[in-house]
Amino acid sequence: TLGPVAGDGKAWQVVKAGVVPVYRKHYVTLSEVEYEKESVKAVLAVASSGQLYFSYDYDLTRTVQKNSSLDWAHPLANLARRLAPDPEHTEISGKASEGRSKHQAVVEDDADERFLPGRRSRAKEKGELADGVLSDLRGALPDFCVGCIFGHVSSTVVRTRELRSCTVSLIMRVNRRRAGTRFIKRGIDSQGNAACGVQTEMSAHNGESICAHVQARGSPPVMWDQIPTGFMASPPIRIHHTRRRSSFNPSSVSEINLG
């Protein structure tokens, strides 16, 4: 749970995923079948890595400040209740229908598309057919289509010396633009997107007020690359356990004195 930061909203972690391939034609060649197997394997490796998170009642792609700027909800905790059907009627009430349309807006429009894995900026690309299928699914099954982020989400409750509780949440979002691994993706592209961009947000809420800090990091924003040919692995690190505490104590004291 994200606690009061998201109005007691919850973030869910994807631990296992399935893939349904959609083909452009009725038949495929053997080479295309092998390529499809490798592609599905790669997608499943990412989707089942435990680093995908989603929420039905809070936009994880946006910071606390941006979520608070929404004119229709802050926090977004009431969104789940607006999506739920009226228990006294068998049909969806007007308020729930309104909520559903706003839920779709969170998925497609209001969400920060930089942190939506798999979403394409341009429609006319290789995934044009897949994008069309996803659009149909969003229209027919809006409650089953929700945006997710790739990164990390965690939250904990801490208590001060005055026994006041405070909810501390950490959300890490990986930028899908120029995403990749180090030594493969470096620098920036022609659109100014830095490789391996990550946005980290830490927020704290004590029941009365909320504060948040956002940090963005990525590859140095210049045109450069690094081909990993002849790459030598780093030698193993040796930790001197016997001298660790004697060195740690003076270091910790110096950090405390800085404050």
Per-residue pLDDT reduced to its tens digit, 52-75: 998 887 889 988 888 877 644 444
pLDDT at position 235, please? 77
CA dihedral 139, 141, 143, 148 (to 10 degrees): -80
State the average pLDDT over residues 185-194: 82
Per DSSP bridges, beta strands 165-174 and 52-54 are: unpaired
242, part of any domain: no
pLDDT at position 201, please? 94
The amino acid at residue 79 is: L
Locate 19 and state its tokens.
Answer: 């893939």
182, part of any domain: yes
Question: In 3-state terms, the chain is what percent helix, strand and coil (to 5)?
Answer: 35, 20, 50
Name, of 4-18, 65-79, 166-180, the range with top average pLDDT: 166-180
255, part of any domain: no
Q: Is the pLDDT of residue 111 over 70?
A: yes
Question: In this structure, what are the phi and psi dihedrals at residue 249, rounded to the nearest 5 degrees?
Answer: -60, -50
Maximum Cα–Cα distance for the chain, whole Å?
70
pLDDT at position 58, please? 83
- Contact at 8 Å (CB) between 124 and 155? no
Q: Which has the closest alpha carbon to 174: 189, 146, 204, 195?
A: 195
206, part of any domain: yes
109, part of any domain: yes
Return the higher-pLDDT residue of 163 and 18.
Answer: 18
Q: Domain span at residue 46? A: 3-231
- Contact at 8 Å (CB) between 34 and 184? no
Q: Is the pLDDT of residue 89 over 50?
A: no
244, part of any domain: no
253, part of any domain: no
113, part of any domain: yes
Q: How many domains does the chain have?
A: 1
